[in-house]
Amino acid sequence: MVLIRVRGPSGMKKIDVDESLTWNQLRMMIEESTGIQADRQQILGGFPPLELNYDGNLVVNGSLAIGDLLTVQQLPSGVQNPSKVSETQTGVTLPPKNIQSDDLKPSENGQEALPTTASYDSDPNPNGSIASQGTFEVVVVPDDNSCLFRSVLNVLDDENRSVYTAERLRTTVAEYIRQHPLEFTSAVLGQDPDQYISWILMETSWGGGIELAIFARVFEMEFDAIDIQSLRIDRFGEGSGYNMRALLIYDGIHYNSIELKIGGIIDVRQFPIDDEYVLHAAMQIAIKANAERAYTDTAGFQLRCADCGTRLEGEKQAVQHATSTGHTNFRES
């Protein structure tokens, strides 16, 4: 069974999918979940979202990973989905199954971006890896609503670190979204692009998956975010031909960066993309933090809207409240 998320007109739901099902059978499950008839579904997946036109008789096995998000839209009356289009014709596949997860990490405002979920050797050979030369440490940044941006700033090379600030990184995101309107649509951002741009420019707004996907492109580097609760690695920019990767760690509400200390005097913030032992070594930090329950379960934590005082439970209610009111200033209660 694979637990995936399906987002339809009425919101998002999680469904368990038996991988022996065909795509036609999956469409029937999606119909039950969203109310959109199977023959009128347009299913989008990946990031940026692309239409998935699998042969309806094709078995799902291998096409979905745990935590994948499928966005389902209703086709106009009289238009049916091309369910007989073969997989090879579409050129679109979802990431293969790999590390266990129960949910893909959303942007911290609740909007999803879809990185790939990392697959890596759980027992790689440390020989030749830069990771074997030192110790990985977490670089803690302030809890000031800009933790993602400050963590990204920490892992940039010296030249970029000298010219970028957290504020400028926000501006970079806004400009990128504005320049790529066909990719960053309302369906991707979860709200009107102009509203999202205004929102992300506010210093009280948290960043997340959408921002990391953009930074991977801007800085031509893979950003790998390790989720402490699920022990999942979300890889932004994987397969794009980048030579280097940077590491972040996420506890459910806060990002920090990870760097390698060598000899107490050298801080390594970027790592060769082909050095798989780096992921294995960095994961040990998350495993230890997970055992200590050093994370926040965003599905059940208690929040208070600092704008109006409304008490909320979990990320879902926070997103609904933000969407209906425009309030984005939340505090744990």
Q: Give bridge partners of residue 266 from the DSSP assignment.
A: 262
Q: Which single residue is written with the structure tokens 């038996």?
A: 18
Residue type, 135: T
Q: What is the DSSP string of 59-119?
A: B-TTS--TT-EEEEEEPPTT----TT--HHHH---PPPP-S--SSPPBPTTS-B---EEP-
Query: What is the helix (H) or strand (E) element at residue 280, kind and residue range?
Result: helix 276-291
CA gap 73, 98 in Å, rounded: 27
Direct distance between the N- and C-terminal alpha carbons of the chain, in angstroms, rounded to an integer: 36
CA distance to 72, 135, 180, per residue, from 274 (Å):
35, 19, 30
Q: Which residues of 135-158 are buried (b: 16+ CB within 10 A; e: fewer)?
A: ebebbebeeebbbbbbbbbbbbee
Q: Based on the residue annotation, tell me whether 147 is a catalytic residue of this protein.
A: yes
With beta carbons less than 8 A apart as the criterion, state whether 117 and 67 touch.
yes
Q: Based on the residue annotation, tell me whether 305 is a catalytic residue of this protein.
A: no
Q: Of 39, 180, 307, 327, which residue is the catalytic one?
A: 327
Q: Based on the residue annotation, tell me whether 254 is a catalytic residue of this protein.
A: yes
Longest dimension (CA), the chain: 67
Q: Of 68, 147, 224, 321, which residue is the catalytic one?
A: 147
Q: Of 144, 157, 267, 297, which residue is the catalytic one?
A: 144
Q: Based on the residue annotation, tell me whether 321 is a catalytic residue of this protein.
A: no
Q: Which of 85, 38, 42, 26 is nearest to 187 (CA)?
A: 42
With beta carbons less than 8 A apart as the criterion, state whether 46 and 188 touch.
no
Question: Three-class SS of residue 288?
Answer: helix
Q: Of 55, 68, 254, 321, which residue is the catalytic one?
A: 254
Q: Which residues are catalytic?
A: 144, 147, 254, 327
